[in-house]
């Protein structure tokens, strides 16, 4: 199915509002890949799906932004591995994705030949983890780890599982949203053999939770790996509280626990997706209390320069004295909490 993906501008005929010439300019800098599943979804569901996949001129004009503001490269002891927090690493095991998201924070890398993940870089990463006892949690990402063959992924999971200090492995994949048919029975049978796995998906809009995606999530749930979701706050796509609430409800209905809503990082080529922090806080206000607590993820900003992720919450304390706190409830009412 991936081989039939749209990768050049002229194949985008018929998609509303697309100017092939402009798309072609962008694809010289950042690759495009829209697989047939997503193409069909764009046609039936419209703008939220189109904007995440079809290049826009704006990707070329946000020059003050940096390619790697989070300094993933600076905190990288070996190519493709970022060791920032004491006990966990990000490990790039694939350079490809089933769809190249226009908002990708690793836009500088994904889908590009230069600086790609190779067998040798994977080996170097595994060796680093083996030699570094502090690492207890390994996050497989990329690109998308589920674009590896079952055999390759199995080999990586096996190696990692043999390391005594590695207590857990996370797979970060957008495939359940972008190519749900990749979640095959064979893949899930392989994943089920590991009892140290967590799987974090990446859904951004309720329209991504199709019948096929629900089937994929159901299968993934049979592996025993707890499922989470990392959503990126995207201007014009999911920055309304109602849209985000619907997404969170549909995720938990499929037993996917929302983990993070990421504020869009200041990554070059993605500036047009960034919202204000107030917008993000308003979205959070629309979730907490209104929905089951299991539907409410943490809203995080990732500090530039490698400072790590920090959760942001709407202010709930209105005032405080020795005897009490004055607090805003989820319903907007004002309450006094005795101290
Ligand atoms: C986000 C991130 C992690 C994982 O953070 P958690 O809060 O544990 O999910 C690890 N390393 C880096 C560099 C990260 O950016
Ligand atoms: S699937 Fe993830 S890594 Fe790949 S382009 Fe989308 S956001 Fe980037």
Domain contains 111: yes
**Alpha carbon distance 43, 274 (integer Å):** 25
Maximal CA-CA distance, the chain: 68
- Its domain, for residue 117, covers 2-318
Alpha carbon distance 106, 267 (integer Å): 8
Say if 336 falls within a structural domain: no
Site to substitute for ligand 2 among 49, 104, 237, most atoms within 8 A of C-beta: 104
Q: Give me the residue label for tokens 């629900």.
A: 214
Residue 184 exposure: Cα atoms within 13 Å on the Cβ side: 8
Q: Which of 97, 188, 229, 295 is catalytic?
A: 97
Report yes or no on 210 lying in a domain. Answer: yes
Q: Does the annotation count 260 as an active-site position?
A: no
Three-class secondary structure of residue 279 per DSSP: helix
Per-residue tokens: 227: 């499922």
Catalytic position from the list 85, 136, 194, 330? 85
pLDDT at 319: 96
Distance CA 284, CA 90 (A): 27
Taken in order 28, 21, 107, 302, the sign of the CA dihedral is: positive
Query: Which of 33, 56, 101, 144 is the catalytic position?
Result: 101
332: in domain: no
Confidence (pLDDT) at 273: 96
Choose which residue among 110, 140, 172 to substitute to test ligand 2 binding: the one with the highest number of ligand atoms within 8 A of its C-beta.
110
Catalytic residue among 33, 37, 56, 104: 104
Report how far residue 92's alpha carbon sits from residue 142's, in angstroms, rounded to the nearest whole number: 4
User: Measured between alpha carbons, how far is 69 from 194 in angstroms, rounded to an integer?
Assistant: 34
Nearest of 169, 219, 214 to residue 194 by alpha carbon: 169
- The Cβ of residue 333 has, within 10 Å, a number of other Cβ atoms equal to 8
Please tell me the predicted confidence (pLDDT) of residue 1. 84
Query: What's the CATH code of the domain at 254?
Result: 3.20.20.70
* Cβ–ligand 1 contact at 136 (below 6 Å): no
Question: How many A from CA of 286 to the centre of ligand 1?
Answer: 26
Phi-psi label, residue 233: left if phi above 0, alpha if psi -120 to 50, beta otherwise: beta
* Main-chain dihedrals φ then ψ at residue 199, nearest 5 degrees: -125, 125
257 flagged as catalytic: no
Number of separate helices (H) and strands (E) present in the chain? 10, 12
Q: Give the per-residue pLDDT at 71.
A: 82
235 is catalytic: no
Closest ligand (CA of 301): 1
- CB atoms < 10 A from the CB of 274, how many? 22
pTM: 0.96
- Cα 7 from chain centroid (whole Å): 22
State whether the beta carbon of 90 lies less than 6 angstroms from ligand 1.
yes
The Cβ-side half-sphere exposure at 100, using a 13 Å CA radius, reads 25
Ligand number, closest to the Cα atom of 204: 2
Phi and psi based region of residue 309 (left: phi greater than 0; alpha: psi -120 to 50; beta: remaining): beta
Nearest-CA residue for ligand 1 atom 6 is 309
Whole-angstrom Cα distance, residue 214 to residue 78? 37
Residue 328 counted as domain residue: no
Q: For atom 8 of ligand 1, which residue has the closest CA? A: 88
**How remote is the CA of residue 98 from the centroid of ligand 2, in Å?**
8
pLDDT in tens, the chain (339 residues): 899 999 998 888 778 778 888 899 999 999 999 999 999 999 999 999 999 999 999 999 876 788 888 888 888 999 999 999 999 999 999 999 999 999 999 998 888 876 689 999 999 999 999 999 999 999 999 899 999 999 999 999 999 999 999 999 999 999 999 999 999 999 999 999 999 999 999 999 999 999 999 999 999 999 999 999 999 999 999 999 999 999 999 999 999 999 999 999 999 999 999 999 999 999 999 999 999 999 999 999 999 888 999 999 999 999 999 999 999 999 999 999 999
- In this prediction, residue 217 carries a pLDDT of 98
Nearest ligand 2 atom to alpha carbon 100: 5
Q: Decide whether any atom of ligand 1 lies within 6 Å of the 109 Cβ.
A: no
Q: How many domains does the chain have?
A: 1
Residue 334 falls within a domain, yes or no?
Answer: no
Residue 115, pLDDT score: 67
Is 192 within a domain? yes
Q: Is 328 a catalytic residue?
A: no
For residues 100 and 33, give the distance between their C-alpha atoms in angstroms, rounded to a whole number. 5
* 274 labelled catalytic: no
| Whether 120 contacts 71, CB under 8 Å | no
Q: Give catalytic status of residue 265 as yes or no.
A: yes
What are the b/e assignments for 207-217, b being 16+ CB within 10 Å? Answer: bbbbebbeebb
Q: Indicate if 88 belongs to the active site.
A: yes
Domain annotation covers residue 23: yes
């Amino acid at each position: 199915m991936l081989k039939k993906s749209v990768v050049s501008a002229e194949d985008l005929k018929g998609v509303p509002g697309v100017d092939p010439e402009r798309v072609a300019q962008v694809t010289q800098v950042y690759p495009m890949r829209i697989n047939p599943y997503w193409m069909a979804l764009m046609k039936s569901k419209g703008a939220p799906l189109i904007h995440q996949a079809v290049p826009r001129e704006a990707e070329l004009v946000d020059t003050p932004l940096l390619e790697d503001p989070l300094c993933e490269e600076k905190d990288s002891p070996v190519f493709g591995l970022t060791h920032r927090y004491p006990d966990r690493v990000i490990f790039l095991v694939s350079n490809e994705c089933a769809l190249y998201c226009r908002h990708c924070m690793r836009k500088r890398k994904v889908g590009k030949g230069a600086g790609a993940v190779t067998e040798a870089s994977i080996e170097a990463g595994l060796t680093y983890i083996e030699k570094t006892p502090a690492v207890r949690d390994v996050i497989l990402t990329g690109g998308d780890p589920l674009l590896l063959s079952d055999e390759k992924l199995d080999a990586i999971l096996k190696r990692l599982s043999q390391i005594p200090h590695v207590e857990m492995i996370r797979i970060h994949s957008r495939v359940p949203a972008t190519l749900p048919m990749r979640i095959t029975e064979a893949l899930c049978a392989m994943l089920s053999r590991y009892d140290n796995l967590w799987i974090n998906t990446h859904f951004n809009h309720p329209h991504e939770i199709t019948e096929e995606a629900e089937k994929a999530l159901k299968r993934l749930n049979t592996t025993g790996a707890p499922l989470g979701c990392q959503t990126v706050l995207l201007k014009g796509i999911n920055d309304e509280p109602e849209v985000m609430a619907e997404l969170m409800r549909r995720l938990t209905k499929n037993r996917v626990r929302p983990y993070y809503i990421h504020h869009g990082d200041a990554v070059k080529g993605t500036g047009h997706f960034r919202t204000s922090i107030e917008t993000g806080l308003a979205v959070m206000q629309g979730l907490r209390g209104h929905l089951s607590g299991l539907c409410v993820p943490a809203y995080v900003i990732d500090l530039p320069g490698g400072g790590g992720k920090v959760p942001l919450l709407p202010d709930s304390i209105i005032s405080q004295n020795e005897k009490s706190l004055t607090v805003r409830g989820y319903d907007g009412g004002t309450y006094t909490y005795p101290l």
